[in-house]
Amino acid sequence: MTQKIIIQKLARNGWPADEPMTMIDESLLIYSEGVIDDENEYTTWKEWRLDGKIVKRSAHVTLKKNVAAEAVAAMFS
């Protein structure tokens, strides 16, 4: 059931634009994930690709510090 929900969301969001909404097996998708971890943020993402095109991406960003507030505070120093 999960693979059908993923593909419905992709088609509803406009990909592929020139084809009707269809259900495909999740095993046809290439899954990858990644992480960015630096002094300002910790970001993780998951991607599903079909024929080299990203059909779904899910990302989560956690800021480690308030970058904008620190920049404003530095102007007063």
pLDDT in tens, 7-47: 555 555 555 555 555 667 788 889 999 999 998 889 999 99
Higher pLDDT, residue 76 or 22: 76
Q: Are 54 and 48 in contact (CB under 8 A)?
A: yes
Region for residue 14 given its phi and psi (left: phi exceeds 0; alpha: psi -120 to 50; beta: otherwise)? left
Of the candidates 58, 60, 66, 71, the one whose C-alpha atom is nearest the C-alpha of residue 40 is 66
Q: How many CB atoms are located within 10 Å of the residue 48 CB?
A: 20
Q: CA–CA separation, 69 vs 53, rounded Å?
A: 38
